[in-house]
């Protein structure tokens, strides 16, 4: 089982990694460690989100996905 974190911001002016610390704390409080992070600045209205699709391709049964 891997813990995978996905962080996204809608515009290049926003910081997609802003929630990283919160996800790290959330995982640590539960005795877990995030194994992979996927960070991108793409609009949620667009389907062209390479990091999201890389995340989905990497996931296996039993993996946990944290989304900020």
For residue range 38-53, what is the model confidence (pLDDT) as tens digits? Answer: 999 877 777 888 999 9
What average pLDDT does the segment 5-18 reach? 87
Which of 10, 17, 43, 61 is catalytic? The answer is 10
**pLDDT band at residue 68 using 50, 70 and 90 as cut-offs:** confident
Q: What integer pLDDT is reported at residue 51 of this predicted model?
A: 93
Of 25, 6, 26, residue with least CA distance to 16: 6
Which distant-in-sequence residues (6+ apart) come within 8 Å of 55 by Cβ? 4, 6, 36, 38, 65
> In the annotation, is 10 catalytic?
yes
Residue 36 scores a pLDDT above 80: yes
Rounded CA separation 57/26 (Å):
24
**What pTM does this model have?**
0.84
The chain-wide mean pLDDT, for the chain, equals: 91
């Amino acid at each position: 089982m891997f813990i995978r974190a996905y962080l996204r911001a809608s515009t290049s002016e926003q910081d997609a990694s802003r929630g990283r610390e919160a996800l790290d704390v959330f995982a640590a409080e539960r005795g877990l460690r995030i194994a992979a992070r996927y960070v991108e600045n793409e609009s949620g209205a667009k389907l062209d989100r390479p990091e999201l699709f890389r995340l989905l391709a990497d996931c296996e049964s039993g993996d946990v996905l944290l989304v900020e």
